């Protein structure tokens, strides 16, 4: 567990820890609630297959999936996906709407970037929808630069990348 007192990037009250299979239903619920609140939920489809097999999609494949807890309640999540030996991809950063604007998404992003550096990645990439302005501001404030635009499942997205020192 990564508690607030062990890392200056983790806000008070938030504890980060690796995903456990017992978290699966809460992760899925958080995913749905956060995307609905942002107005970008697409409903069920193949774009969410990774959430049905988190260990296989992330941890067994050389990545990481982390959850954030407040008083034992799962309120945040994020993942690092292994792309190749030098590139990682940030995925699935979500914060429950009632817990947003407290630095939880930033803490998750900083933690995942730290894990990417530890794994020797030299580049990170991610995408967010055109509608998610707060997410765009967050990743840009953390040094990610827009590298393109496109469409995922019919939704306009912005692709970002960051070189790691």
Q: What is the mean pLDDT of each run of 10 residues along the chain (165 residues)?
A: 50 91 96 88 80 94 96 97 96 96 95 96 96 95 98 91 95
Q: CATH topology for 4-124?
A: Aminopeptidase (3.40.630)
Amino acid 136: pLDDT: 96
Q: Where are the domains of the chain?
A: 4-124
User: Burial code of 17-56, b = ≥16 C-beta within 10 A, e = fewer?
Assistant: eebeeebeebbeebbbbbbeebebeeeeeeebebbeebee
Task: Please state, as a whole number, how many other Cβ atoms lie within 10 Å of the Cβ of residue 136.
Answer: 17
Amino acid 123: pLDDT: 98
The Cα–Cα gap between 161 and 143 comes to 9
Indicate the pTM of the whole model. Answer: 0.90
Amino acid 60: pLDDT: 92
4-to-7, 14, 69, 121 alpha-carbon distances in Å? 6, 6, 11, 25
34-to-30, 40, 55, 107, 140 alpha-carbon distances in Å? 6, 9, 21, 17, 20
Amino acid 9: pLDDT: 65
| Cβ–Cβ < 8 Å for 86, 123 | yes
Task: Please state, as a whole number, how many other Cβ atoms lie within 10 Å of the Cβ of residue 132.
Answer: 18
* Three-state DSSP class for residue 121: coil
């Amino acid at each position: 567990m990564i508690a607030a007192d062990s890392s200056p990037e983790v806000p008070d009250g938030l504890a980060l820890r690796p995903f456990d299979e017992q978290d699966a239903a809460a992760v899925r619920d958080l995913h749905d609630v956060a995307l609905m609140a942002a107005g970008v939920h697409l409903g069920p489809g193949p774009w969410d297959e990774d959430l049905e097999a988190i260990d296989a999609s992330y941890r067994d494949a050389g990545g990481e999936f982390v959850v954030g807890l407040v008083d034992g309640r799962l309120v945040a999540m994020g993942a690092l996906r292994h792309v190749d030996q030098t590139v990682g991809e940030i995925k699935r950063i979500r914060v429950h709407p009632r817990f947003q604007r407290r630095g939880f998404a930033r803490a998750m992003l900083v933690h995942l970037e730290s894990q990417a550096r530890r794994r020797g990645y030299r580049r990170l990439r991610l995408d967010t929808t055109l509608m998610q302005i707060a997410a765009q501001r967050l990743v840009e404030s953390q040094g990610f630069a827009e590298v393109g635009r496109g469409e995922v499942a019919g939704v306009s997205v912005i692709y970002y990348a960051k070189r790691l020192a």
